[in-house]
Amino acid sequence: MKILVISGPNLQLLGVRKPEIYGTVTLQDIENDLQISAASLGMNISFFQSNHEGEIVDRIAAARGEQIDGIIINPAAYTHTSVAIRDALEAVAIPAVEVHLSNIHGREEFRRKSLTAAMCIGQISGFGPDGYRLALQALAYRLNRRNQNNI
């Protein structure tokens, strides 16, 4: 199985930006942890980070041609604003899990609405960096179940 992890704007600043909300773990730390977790699950994993909406849309579109089996996406601020990312997720129809380090539903009102979550099989928020590992496990479970049941 091939999994793509997409990280949106400002996530390259993890560990420095608002550690009281996002913690001190860096994006590289999260990617290293996911690499180990993916290997233990027999999955191949690749990573993409961009601060630019169009680049994220292009990367999602390219995933279909690469036969990516699942996507883990943290659209960051684009969660709340990007119809384009939502539409790209819908168009490729690749099972995706939306991840947020903080509990977006317990934060400012504008952060509580996700435009992208409806195009995902689920959303994990509020578990910090562990949310990425939980998303990977959820995708592995769902993809294995789909393959076993041929659904």
| Catalytic site positions | 22, 100
In 3-state terms the chain splits into helix, strand, coil percentages (rounded to 5) of 50, 15, 30
Q: In what order do the strands lie in the sheet with 2-7?
A: 44-49, 2-7, 70-74, 96-100, 122-125
Taking the C-alpha atoms of residue 128 and residue 14, their distance in angstroms, rounded to an integer, is 11
* 85 contacts 111 by C-beta, under 8 angstroms: no
Taking the C-alpha atoms of residue 131 and residue 42, their distance in angstroms, rounded to an integer, is 19
Buried b (16+ CB within 10 A) or exposed e, 9-42: bbbbebeeeeeeebbebbbeebbebbbebbeebe
